[in-house]
Amino acid sequence: QQPVQSPQAVILREGEDAVINCSSSKALYSVHWYRQKHGEAPVFLMILLKGGEQKGHEKISASFNEKKQQSSLYLTASQLSYSGTYFCAGDAGGTSYGKLTFGQGTILTVHP
Amino acid sequence: DAEITQSPRHKITETGRQVTLACHQTWNHNNMFWYRQDLGHGLRLIHYSYGVQDTNKGEVSDGYSVSRSNTEDLPLTLESAASSQTSVYFCASSPSRGYGYTFGSGTRLTVV
């Protein structure tokens, strides 16, 4: 079952902040976040591992609440380049290790 | 520089024909994946491989097959193309669990 993201879409002005949420119905080993611009491939942003270790890059942060199986992506002081569709993806571990199930995506639009 | 390439970028084929989409990565990654992306469904996993001679079915594997004879390549074959397989196909790779995916640029397939 795919993770559920909210909101489905968000519109911002440059410099504003946004939070995108991701909720899983099953326990996850890790949560990934990707950004996809129109007509392009998804690009890896960040991974949050069970146990709290975080890996990633860029000036975007994220959290993972293992008890609730919820992750949030925080975009602060948004830039025009942040526009795109954001996907969370879960790795359930076990025999499915490394295999990701993607959420339905959140469309982020940043206006000047 | 290491990369992951998909070919062709665009293809139109007729119903019933066999089609093979290529995916080649020079990252030396063990894990490779095929996803399809459709409006309203996000990214759905078709097949995946953890190494040479290893292949596994994903959630939407019916009508598709893969083979892994070397580390670099994971071709996706549509045995008998159907209109329902019109989609954008993405190949991805990762070194192992706990690392993000690197995606290819995608193949837009139209079945007429």
With contact defined as beta carbons under 8 Å apart, do A1 and A26 qualify? yes
Share of chain A above pLDDT 70, in %: 92
**Residue A86 contacts by C-beta under 8 Å, 6 or more apart in sequence?**
A5, A20, A33, A34, A35, A36, A45, A73, A105, A106, A108
Tell which wins on pLDDT, A92 or B29.
B29
With contact defined as beta carbons under 8 Å apart, do B77 and B64 qualify? yes
Determine, for residues B103 and A2 on separate chains, whether the beta-carbon distance falls below 8 Å: no
Residue from B97, B99, B107 to probe the interface with A (highest A Cβ count within 10 Å): B97
Using a CB-CB distance cutoff of 8 angstroms, which residues of chain B are in contact with residue A41? 90, 103-106
Query: What are A47-64's pLDDT values in tens digits?
Result: 998 766 565 556 788 989
* Whole-number Å distance between alpha carbons of A44 and A32: 8
pLDDT attached to residue A35: 97
Mean pLDDT by 10 residues, chain B (112 residues): 94 98 96 94 93 95 97 97 98 91 97 98
* Whole-number Å distance between alpha carbons of A62 and A79: 17
At residue A111, φ and ψ (nearest 5 deg) are -100, 155
**Average confidence score pLDDT of chain A:** 90
Nearest to A104 among B42, B59, B90 (CB): B42
Joined tokens for residue B30: 């063990």
Peptide bond into B8 cis (omega under 30): yes
Determine, for residues B97 and A32 on separate chains, whether the beta-carbon distance falls below 8 Å: no
For B60, the enclosing helix (H) or strand (E) is none
Strand order, beta sheet including A18-23: A4-6, A18-23, A70-75, A60-65
